[in-house]
Amino acid sequence: MLETNESQCNGPASASVNNNHLTEEDLLVKHKAEKKELQATIQQLKKNAQNSKKKKKEAVEEISKLETEMKARHLEELSQCKKGIISNGEVESAVADLSLSEGAVDLGEGETPISEKSVKVSRAAKRRAKKAEAAEQREMELQQEREHQQLYSPRAVEARLMAKLISERQLRQTEVQPDGNCMYSALSLQLEGAKSVENLRCLASDYMLEHKDDFLPFLTAPDTGELLDERGFQDYCDKVASTSAWGGQPELRALSQVLRRKIEVLQAEGAPMVLGEEFSGDPLLLAYYRHSFSLGEHYNSLRKRTIDSPIGAT
């Protein structure tokens, strides 16, 4: 607290702030009381802002404003009261002693004073906003990439082309499990269950063994890409009969001969593959997918669409 030999503040400007009847000591006591009142107000603002980030930010701004206004008013009142008696430097020192930083109020335990915190909060908010903006931009790019994949990936392109082809041919598709038996399962559906998957596998294996010269020159080992020898061909046919090994064109060719049925395979790229063209009658229809299933190449069953049946899978 400032000391003075004067019992009363002087100066013509003191009347403008209605403190011309206060001694310096009275004025400082008044300021101290106002500071305590402001502290109470700040505490209430703090309490009201506890559970809301938005209210907390507004409270920081309001408290900073109240502190700034009080400090300026106290400076003006002391300046007018002590004009001609104490220097400006002393007045500023007195006001600094009364600054709210003495009992700095925070909005949480262990936090910095409001005047400092508002700057830190502003910088932190900018950093958070910049980080959030970067994250949002990255998410937008990822979303665009996902949308591009959905539209233009080999799987998406194949699915659209197949759907168009099936619709143009007025067919309906029945999906089968992608478990290695898909080709045999699709044919079994075409035959209305007259031949089971196991039966079809054995028929294909037996025919290939009996007509080795028609198949051996065209079969290669999957791990090396080299043509199969006699032992390799025997192992291949054994797997056709007794495992869930995936079936393809050689097995379809064998089954078309055993069943004496034409087999037509629709695919997204290129003309349909037809086996057993020498046989008359309606063909057995399959849909072939190269990209659409995680386990690799896949077959579904196709039938002519009736009036009441849907275009897509059943």
Please list the active-site residues.
179, 182, 298
Rounded Cα distance between 105 and 149, Å, is 55
Query: What distances in angstroms separate CA 239 from CA 243, 247, 276, one per listed residue?
Result: 5, 10, 24
Written as one letter, the residue type at 122 is S
CA neighbor of 25 nearest in space, from 43, 42, 50, 5: 5
Token look-up 């003006």 returns: 76
CA neighbor of 173 nearest in space, from 76, 28, 182: 182
Written as one letter, the residue type at 125 is A
Q: Give the H/E segment covering residue 16.
A: none
Token look-up 């002393």 returns: 90
| DSSP codes of every residue in 131-167 | HHHHHHHHHHHHHHHHHHHHHHSHHHHHHHHHHHHHH
CA 49, 55, 60, 64 torsion-angle sign: negative
Half-sphere exposure of 173 (CA within 13 A, CB side): 23
Rounded Cα distance between 242 and 236, Å, is 10
Asked whether the beta carbons of 65 and 42 are under 8 A apart, the reply is: no
Q: Which two tokens stand for residue 234?
A: 């025997």
Half-sphere exposure of 123 (CA within 13 A, CB side): 4
